[in-house]
């Protein structure tokens, strides 16, 4: 009560007890919060310093999330480049398989010494325009001769000695003459040997596909047929006794001394292999006296002028053959292009959180809370030009494979070199990304350590020593008990006065 008088001893003990109780509250608050500075009233300097340190630590902690996302973005790009590298290595294996495969198709042709004209090659194997090669003349040819005996001696009605003696027609036939078709010659009864020779040569010269080198001449008053190509000559007639009148009696209607020699296969082989437009597209060789044509392409090859027995330069179906392309290499083309398509798909899918470094997106990361320290990551070439990792942009030298390329070993070798350069490009870019990743990881570790340092520093300023505070509280509790005892003793002194009454 306001008017109550308390003794000095009681007041002193009461004040001590109040102070102890107040100190107990402070210590209990420290134990409850774990901090010795809970507000600016406790210690302004430590409170505001710790707040500043914690604020900086909080800002750096927020930057750690960006660094973590940046690391994942680089890992996504690295995953894409690893997959692309495997695809390119598979493409290299594909090229090597094509390079080593020699299962080219071919065909062999018998070329007769009487063959004339040219061989024509066409189809995708040699390009859009056909290419013709002249057939060389055969070597070692012996002329065939058919000589009359006792002809032009008949005397017909009104005829003179030395005339044929009867009108009629006969045929001349030989390989290489008129495509093998007999040539017909008509004569009059009063034709002499010179007139018959003129008519024979005119008929031979008038054929459509070559006279076979056959000419008619006179020797010792007799008719002589000579074939310079070496093919034997045969004459025939449906007119009775006409051949005898011409000097070709029984047993003397066909020559037997002809020799066609050898076709110039080696010369033809050399001509084909050195002809511009055919080099590295087809290969000719001497197959035991036959002409061997090998198609070095994945496309079909058409050979016009070749048949089972001769080359005539004709364009009929019997003189046309087709040689298929290399099926193994053709299949490898589609496999190669499928792998190439996957490269761009892999690059498109190598994104994280909307950023794709392989598509030339830019990744920017900040390393300090002021934003003054940062890093920008983007795919670039050695000159610093921004580029995407793609077959379409040319950063990877991987064009679409073609039949022409897979038909040419030299072009396949060039393709292998280009793929090796593409791998070098990937490795270089991976190294650049790897360097950036190391920088980010270093900054991430540094930032974590800085956050720990800042928080530790702040804690040292405001956190309470729980052991110390517990001991203090125990001491205060003891002091409180002692103060209560002292207060009781002081009160007993006042009660002694009451006994006087």
Query: Dihedral, CA atoms, 371, 372, 378, 384, nearest 10 degrees?
Result: 160
Structure confidence at residue 136 (pLDDT): 81
User: What are the C-alpha distances in Å from 108 to residues 118, 265, 280, 285?
Assistant: 16, 12, 18, 9
User: What pLDDT is stored for residue 495 in this prediction?
Assistant: 64
Q: State how far the Cα of 84 lies from the Cα of 336, in Å rounded to an integer.
A: 13
Q: What is the pLDDT of residue 308?
A: 43
pLDDT value at residue 288: 81
In three-state secondary structure terms, 497 is helix
Domains 58-100+330-457 and 106-137+262-325 belong to one CATH topology: no
Averages of pLDDT over each 10 residues, the chain, 501 residues? 61 72 71 72 79 85 91 94 94 94 87 74 89 82 89 61 85 84 92 93 86 88 89 90 90 86 81 91 88 91 68 55 90 94 92 92 89 89 86 79 88 93 92 92 92 83 68 72 68 63 57
Q: What is the pLDDT of residue 88?
A: 95
| Predicted pLDDT at 445 | 93
Query: Quick one: pLDDT at residue 259?
Result: 76
Q: Please tell me the predicted confidence (pLDDT) of residue 332.
A: 94
pLDDT of amino acid 309: 47
Determine the Cα angle at 240 with ends 234 and 244, to 5°.
55
Of the candidates 318, 355, 262, the one whose C-alpha atom is nearest the C-alpha of residue 73 is 355
Coil, strand, or helix at residue 241? coil
- Residue 264: the pLDDT is 78
- Kindly tell me the sign of the dihedral angle through the C-alpha atoms of 413, 414, 417, 422: negative
Architecture of domain 58-100+330-457: Up-down Bundle (1.20)
- The full set of domain ranges for the chain reads 58-100+330-457, 106-137+262-325, 144-246
Q: How many CA atoms lie within 13 A of 358 on its CB side?
A: 30
Q: Is this prediction's pTM over 0.75?
A: no
CATH class for the region spanning 106-137+262-325: mainly beta
Residue 183 backbone dihedrals phi, psi, to 5 degrees: -105, 130
């Amino acid at each position: 009560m306001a008017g109550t008088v308390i003794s000095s001893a009681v007041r002193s003990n009461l004040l001590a007890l109040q102070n102890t109780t107040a100190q107990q509250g402070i210590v209990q608050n420290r134990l409850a919060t774990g901090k010795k500075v809970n507000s600016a009233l406790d210690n302004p300097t430590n409170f505001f310093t710790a707040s500043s340190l914690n604020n900086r630590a909080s800002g750096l902690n927020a930057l750690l999330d960006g660094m973590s996302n940046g690391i994942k973005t680089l890992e996504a790009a690295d995953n894409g480049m690893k997959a692309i590298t495997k695809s390119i290595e598979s493409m290299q294996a594909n090229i090597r398989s094509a390079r080593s495969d020699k299962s080219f198709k071919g065909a062999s042709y018998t070329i007769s010494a009487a063959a004339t004209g040219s061989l024509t090659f066409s189809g995708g194997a040699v390009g859009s325009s056909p290419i013709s090669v002249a057939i060389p003349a055969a070597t070692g040819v012996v002329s065939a001769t058919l000589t009359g005996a006792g002809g032009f001696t008949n005397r017909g009605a009104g005829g003179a000695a030395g005339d044929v003696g009867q009108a009629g027609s006969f045929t001349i036939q030989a390989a290489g003459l008129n495509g093998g078709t007999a040539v017909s010659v008509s004569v009059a009864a009063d034709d002499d040997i010179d007139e018959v020779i003129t008519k024979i040569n005119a008929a031979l010269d008038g054929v459509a596909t070559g006279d076979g080198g056959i000419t008619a001449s006179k020797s010792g008053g007799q008719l002589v047929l000579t074939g310079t190509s070496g093919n034997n000559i045969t004459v025939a007639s449906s007119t009775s006794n006409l051949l005898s009148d011409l000097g070709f009696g029984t047993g003397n209607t066909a020559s037997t001394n002809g020799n066609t020699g050898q076709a110039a296969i080696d010369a033809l082989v050399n001509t084909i292999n050195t002809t511009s437009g055919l080099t590295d597209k087809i290969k000719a060789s001497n197959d035991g006296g036959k002409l061997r044509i090998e198609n070095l392409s994945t496309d079909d090859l058409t050979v016009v002028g070749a048949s089972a027995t001769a080359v005539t330069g004709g364009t009929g179906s019997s003189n046309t053959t087709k040689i298929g392309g290399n099926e193994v290499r053709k299949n490898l083309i589609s496999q190669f292009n499928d792998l190439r398509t996957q490269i761009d798909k892999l690059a498109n899918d190598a994104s994280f959180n909307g950023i794709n470094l392989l598509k030339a997106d830019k990744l920017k990361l900040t390393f300090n809370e002021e934003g003054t320290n940062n890093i920008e990551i983007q795919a670039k070439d050695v000159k610093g030009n921004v580029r995407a990792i793609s077959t379409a942009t040319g950063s990877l030298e991987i064009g679409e494979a073609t039949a022409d390329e897979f038909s040419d070993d030299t072009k396949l070798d060039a393709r292998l070199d280009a793929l090796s350069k593409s791998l070098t490009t990937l490795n270089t870019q991976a190294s650049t990304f790897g360097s950036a990743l190391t920088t980010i990881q270093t900054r991430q570790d540094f930032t974590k350590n800085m956050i720990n340092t800042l928080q530790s520093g702040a804690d040292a300023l405001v956190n309470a020593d729980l052991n110390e505070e517990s001991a203090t509280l125990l001491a205060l509790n003891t002091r409180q008990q002692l103060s209560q005892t002292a207060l009781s003793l002081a009160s007993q002194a006042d009660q002694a006065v009451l006994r006087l009454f």
